[in-house]
Amino acid sequence: MNVILIAVLVLGLIGLASAVILFVVSHKFAVHEDPRIAQVGEVLPQANCGGCGYPGCSGFAAACVKAADEGSLEGKLCPVGGQPVMEQVASILGMSVELGAPKVAVVRCNGTCENRPRLAQFDGAKSCRVQQMTGMGETGCGYGCLGCGDCVSKCQFDALQMNPETGLPEVNEEKCTACGACSKACPRGIIEIRLKGPKGRRVVVLCNNKDKGAIANKACKASCIGCGKCVKTCEKFEAITLENNLAYIDAEKCKMCRKCEEACPKGAIHGFNFPPKKEKPATAEQQVEQNV
C-alpha cells in the first residue's frame, strides 16, 4: 500500500514540476507571429509558385503584412490570384490596393515545324536544358524554341501545352497567371511575361533570333532579320527598338495600330486577339501592280 502511495506521490510531483516548467518556458520563449499573416495566408491560392517573387505563399503573406505596417501595399501582387485576392488581402490589412495591368506569358518564337526545318535530330535526355548544352539544337536557329517542354512541366496551372503540329508551347490565356515559372525554366529566355493589353489585344515580335539577317533568314521562315522596317513605321510612337538584329515592341508605348505587322517582310510580328480584318478595296496603285 505504502509503495503505491509513494509512487503516486513521486509521479504526481514530477508531473506538477514539469507542468510548471512547461508553462514558464512556453511564456518565456513564445514566438509571437502576427495573426494577420495567417489570415492573409488563408486567402492566398497556396500554389507556392513563387510568381510574386517571395518564397511561397507564407513568405508573400509575411511580406504583405510588413508592407502594410510600413504604410503601402504598392508593388505587392499575387499574379495567380490577381485583383480579387489582392482586394481580400487589402481588406484584412485595412488598406486599399491599386493593381497594375494584368500580364500574360508570351512565347516569342514562331519557329513551327513548317517555318523552321529540322536539320538534325536530338536524341538525348528529353529536356530543353540538356539540348541547349549541345549548342544549336535541332534547327538552324540557336535562339528559338527547343521543343522539349521544360516550360510545360513547370506550369502549375495547366496553362501551357505543347502543340504537336507546330512543336511549340501554346499559352492558354484564361489559365495563365503570369507567375513567370515558364519564363525562368526556358534556357533560351523565349517566354516573356508581357502586358496582356486592353481586351487581351497586343502586338508582339514572335522571334528571339539575334543572328545577322542572312543567317536568321535561312534558319526560319518567320524570323526577325533585323531589317528595321518596323522601327521606321513606328517612328511616331518610338515603341519599337532594334538591338542585336532583333526588334522589340515596348508594350507600354505600343498604340496597337498594327502598321508594323504589315511592314514586316517576314511576318514575324503578330497581333493577338484582334478582330478579323475587313478587306479593303484595292487602291489604284495596287491595281496597277496586280495588272503588271
Residue with cell 511576318: 267
Our finding on whether 118 is near other proteins (CB under 8 A) is no
CA–CA separation, 37 and 259 (whole Å): 49
- We find the least distance from the C-beta atom of residue 129 to other proteins, in angstroms, to be 5
Compute the Cα dihedral for 43, 46, 51, 53 and give only its sign. positive
Give whichever of 91 and 134 is closer to other proteins, judged by the CB atom: 134
Euclidean distance between the first and the last CA atom of the chain, given in angstroms as a whole number: 122
Length of the chain: 292
Helix axes of 82-93 and 56-70: crossing angle, nearest 10 degrees: 50
DSSP sequence for 164-182: TTTTEEEE-TTT-----HH
Our finding on whether 152 is near other proteins (CB under 8 A) is no
Work out which of 67, 95, 113, 130 binds other proteins, going by CB under 8 A.
130
Work out which of 9, 11, 21, 133 binds other proteins, going by CB under 8 A.
133
Our finding on whether 142 is near other proteins (CB under 8 A) is yes
CB count in 10 Å sphere of residue 257: 14
- We find the least distance from the C-beta atom of residue 229 to other proteins, in angstroms, to be 24
- We find the least distance from the C-beta atom of residue 123 to other proteins, in angstroms, to be 5
Our finding on whether 153 is near other proteins (CB under 8 A) is no
Our finding on whether 39 is near other proteins (CB under 8 A) is no
- For 167, 186, 224, the CA distances from 120, given in Å and listed in that order, are 15, 21, 22
Stretch of 27-35, 127-135, 228-236, 240-248 lying at the interface with other proteins (CB under 8 A): 127-135
Contact letters (x/-) for other proteins, 190-229, by CB under 8 A? ---------------------xx--x--------------
160 within 8 A of 172, measured Cβ to Cβ: yes
Binding site for other proteins (CB under 8 A): 119-120, 123-125, 127, 129-130, 133-137, 142, 211-212, 215
